[in-house]
Amino acid sequence: MNAPIPPQNPPLLSVIDLKMHFPVRGGVLKKTKGTIYALDGISFTVREGETLGIVGESGCGKTTAGRTILRLYPPTSGSVIFEGKDLARIPKKILRETRRRMQMIFQDPFESLDARQTVYEILEEPFLIHGMGNPTERKEKIHQLLDTVGLQKSAASLFPHEFSGGQRQRIGIARAIALNPRLIVCDEPVSALDVSIQSQILNLLIELQRERGLSYLFISHNLAVVKYMSESIIVMYLGKIVEHAPAELIYQNPVHPYTQALISAIPVPDPTRKRRRALLSGDLPSPRNPPAGCRFHTRCPLVLDQCRREEPLLRCHEGDPDRRVACHRSTEGIKIW
Amino acid sequence: MKIDPATLKKIKRFQSIKRGYYSLIAISLFIVLSLFAELFINSRALLVRYDGRYYFPTYGEMIPGRVFGFDYDYETNYRELQKRFREAPSDDWALMPLVPYNPYENDLRQDDYPPFPPSFTEKHFLGTDTIGRDILSRLLYGFRTAILFSLALLFATYGVGISLGCLMGYLGGRFDLVFQRVIEIWTNVPVLYVIIIISSILVPNAMILLLIMAFFGWTSITWIMRTATYKEKTREYVLALKALGASDARIIFKHILPNTLSIIVTFAPFALSSGIVALTSLDYLGFGLPAPTPSWGELLQQGWSNMDAWWIASAVISAMILTLLTVTFVGEAVREAFDPKLFTTYE
Ligand SMILES: Nc1ncnc2c1ncn2[C@@H]1O[C@H](COP(=O)(O)OP(=O)(O)O)[C@@H](O)[C@H]1O
Ligand SMILES: [Mg+2]
């Protein structure tokens, strides 16, 4: 199902050198005492109807990336071009209107729903916010939405806590698609769910994409899930992109040692195959104090002196415009396993 | 509108805490009763039949004595009227309230000096104070003053606290920072002293007293509200609403406020009882409401300086204890039923 998207699909979203630094404040006067470099310059493009996956360890800045792109956080620098317009430069009123076409699905479906509201009220909210429809039209719409995400009409009068995790995520999805968005940022949409339910939700997302021509920015720490969903994949490490490649290639021929380590850590279902060693040692360094040079050098088995001093740029790999890698040794073709 | 299950659960739980639930019923009953105090304790008759006509003197204009055949133009003395009707049998009669004294009149006698001890024949069920006013009457009207005053104070401080606290928590940043410091300074002002100083300069009426107390009383609820809003604001559903394009006003009024309300409600009974205590202490010291407003503090003061007239002190102290205990029971039960710690997880 991950057929390569023809390159002629026009770009829907372009992220250019986007940074989000959180100040660390302290003391009585809340002076800035430090900075968390949660997102430190990422660039990529999402085409119409495409799914771009973002993968990386917890704490590498994936959630921050998704939220900053949707302008839920005010970016420190860089731009987000959506539908050809820079979100930072459009007036607030137009931004609010634009939000109809870019939505979000959250990791914790319960936390992201107002527990005091019934499902009906939750799903009516998008229409009320944008002043759309009269009560009968809205009711019709809400029942359609419930049907689309595989919930019964009777669910409308219930409260979120009366559902299972998977059903709650369906409510979250229904809300996200209510206003017919073109882009949905899915931030770990199945990570909080039972493994048995995960594929149902993933398949629902794929089905919705096929029916509606949606673009997804699909975020997860789970590489297998990201690969299942995406045409191309971005691997993030400490607020930066280390590798960007089509989904298949990332599996077959990962270039960056961090990507290789991530893939080696995926459990192999076939017991006759030799299990790869887990290659990642040590913890993720703090984004408050990222290592100098290559951010991965503290954990990299291929580290050179140059890596400690000089930050590698994200460059095309072997002339392929679809592949980008940020590693000083990427041309050497070394596999760390 | 469907009440959400979490709230419903809280209400059910409150009802299951019997002591608090019955206390709430009792205190509500008392309040309602005190609002209609004129029907139970009053010098005006409830109903008079005179010359084939019926009169309802309780509410409305005063009726001069001449109307009922007395030779004076000031307000009819209905106790006298009733006595007159009884002594000379006729079709006329007057129905007096349970206690036929209002809280302001001095029931003076030729042969004796007040305070008079409790007497059923005189219908001074709890006796009179040192200038002959009926104690039961002053107790009930004093309760009304105290509770209305405390409720008004509650509304004033909650009004300021909820709006300011909500803004502080929601906006954050410099606004929050400035008011945090203001509150810290404010809470260190000794309120009672300030009121005493102001009262010694000008004679406060209820409105001025209310304003002064509200002026210094808004900080704690503001702080509570700020914290609650701050917590609520960082929850993901708020982010989801922002992603949908909801305005700040919508997020605050439709989502954050209803979600923080249960926290604020928990503090209301305690605020109410502290209001009563504050007013009583001020009245006791003579810096509160101006005389002759019926007030518990003033009665307490009389009781304290006239220990021989044991009925004064014992009546007001019992009333105080009863009221504060009831309100505290309600507060404890609300707190137990609404405890947010028990409701952070739903499964
Ligand atoms: N609102 C915030 N304020 C301060 N620091 C934050 C905030 N959000 C995230 N961070 C920090 O930024 C880093 C990246 O977090 P996050 O984007 O949640 O990572 P991920 O989603 O990949 O687990 C973490 O170190 C986190 O502590
Ligand atoms: Mg995350």
Our count of domains for chain A comes to 1
Quick check: B4 and A117 CB within 8 A?
yes
Quick check: A175 and B244 CB within 8 A?
yes
Do the domain assignments include residue A2? Answer: no
| Residues within 8 A of B (CB atoms), A 56-75 only | 67, 70, 72
- End-to-end alpha carbon distance in chain A: 29
A235 C-alpha to ligand 2 centroid (Å): 14
Query: What's the sign of the alpha-carbon dihedral B181, B183, B186, B188?
Result: negative
State the closest ligand 1 atom to the C-alpha of A24, by its place in the atom list counted from 1: 4
Residue B344: pLDDT over 50: no
Residue of B40, B42, B39, B33 lying closest to B103 (CA atoms): B42
Residue of B147, B89, B101 lying closest to B126 (CA atoms): B101
Give the separation between CA B299 and CA B309, rounded to whole angstroms: 12
Backbone angles phi, psi at B153, to 5 degrees: -60, -40
Min Cα–Cα distance to chain B from A30, Å: 8
pLDDT, averaged per 10 consecutive residues of chain A (337 residues), comes to: 61 96 82 90 95 95 97 95 93 95 94 93 96 95 96 94 94 97 97 93 96 96 94 96 94 91 75 58 86 93 91 90 91 79
Q: Which amino acid is at A120?
A: Y
- Give long-range contacts, CB 8 A cutoff, 24+ apart: A245-252: A245/A317, A245/A322, A245/A323, A245/A324, A245/A325, A246/A4, A246/A322, A246/A323, A247/A2, A247/A53, A248/A2, A249/A323, A251/A227
Give the separation between CA A337 and CA A330, rounded to whole angstroms: 15
A82 close to A12: Cβ distance less than 8 angstroms: yes
B287 close to B196: Cβ distance less than 8 angstroms: yes
The residues, any chain, with a CB within 8 Å of residue B174's CB and separated by 6 or more, are: none
Give the separation between CA A200 and CA A190, rounded to whole angstroms: 10
Q: What is the pLDDT of residue A271?
A: 57
Confidence of residue B343 (pLDDT cuts 50, 70, 90): very low
Q: What is the pLDDT of residue A269?
A: 62
- Pairing mode, strands B93-95 and A11-26: unpaired
Do the domain assignments include residue A153? Answer: no
Please give the average per-residue pLDDT across B87-101, as a whole number: 86
Quick check: B6 and A115 CB within 8 A?
yes
A173 close to A147: Cβ distance less than 8 angstroms: no
Q: What is the pLDDT of residue B330?
A: 95
Quick check: B4 and A70 CB within 8 A?
no
- Domain extent, residue A322, equals 255-337
Min Cα–Cα distance to chain A from B174, Å: 9
Q: What is the pLDDT of residue A274?
A: 56
- Each residue of B287-323: b (16+ CB within 10 Å) or e? bbbeeebbbbbbbbbbbeeeeebebbbebbeebbeeb
**B248 inside 8 A of chain A by CB:** no
A274 C-alpha to ligand 2 centroid (Å): 31
**A89 inside 8 A of chain B by CB:** no
State the closest ligand 1 atom to the C-alpha of A239, by its place in the atom list counted from 1: 14
Sequence-ordered strand ranges (E) for chain B: 47-50, 53-55, 93-95
State the closest ligand 1 atom to the C-alpha of A221, by its place in the atom list counted from 1: 22
The hierarchical CATH code for the domain B5-36+137-337 is 1.10.3720.10
Q: What is the pLDDT of residue B346?
A: 39
Please give the average per-residue pLDDT across B288-300, as a whole number: 88
Q: pTM of the entire structure?
A: 0.83
Please give the average per-residue pLDDT across B233-250, as a whole number: 95
**A48 inside 8 A of chain B by CB:** no
Q: Which amino acid is at A209?
A: Q
State the closest ligand 1 atom to the C-alpha of A188, by its place in the atom list counted from 1: 21
Higher pLDDT, B92 or B321: B321
* Furthest CA-CA distance within chain B: 84
Q: What is the pLDDT of residue B276?
A: 93
Q: Which two tokens stand for residue A194?
A: 């039972």
Do the domain assignments include residue A270? Answer: yes
Residues in chain A, overall count: 337
Q: Could you state, in order of their start, the residue ranges of all structural domains in chain B?
A: 5-36+137-337, 43-96
Higher pLDDT, B206 or A96: A96
Do the domain assignments include residue A308? Answer: yes
Question: Whose CA is closest to atom 9 on ligand 1?
Answer: A64
Give the separation between CA B194 and CA B211, rounded to whole angstroms: 13
Q: Which two tokens stand for residue A156?
A: 């409308």
Do the domain assignments include residue A54? Answer: no
**B62 inside 8 A of chain A by CB:** no
**A308 inside 8 A of chain B by CB:** no
Question: Whose CA is closest to atom 10 on ligand 1?
Answer: A38
Do the domain assignments include residue A277? Answer: yes
Quick check: B235 and A104 CB within 8 A?
no
Give the separation between CA B108 and CA B64, rounded to whole angstroms: 21
User: Smallest Cβ distance to B245: which of A99, A110, A162?
Assistant: A99
Residue B347: pLDDT over 50: no
Tell the burial category of A210 from Cβ atoms under 10 Å away from its Cβ (0-12, 13-18, 19+): exposed
Do the domain assignments include residue A61? Answer: no
Do the domain assignments include residue A18? Answer: no
pLDDT, tens digit (0-9, with 9 covering 90-100), for B112-128? 788 888 887 878 888 88
Mean pLDDT over all residues of chain B?
A: 88
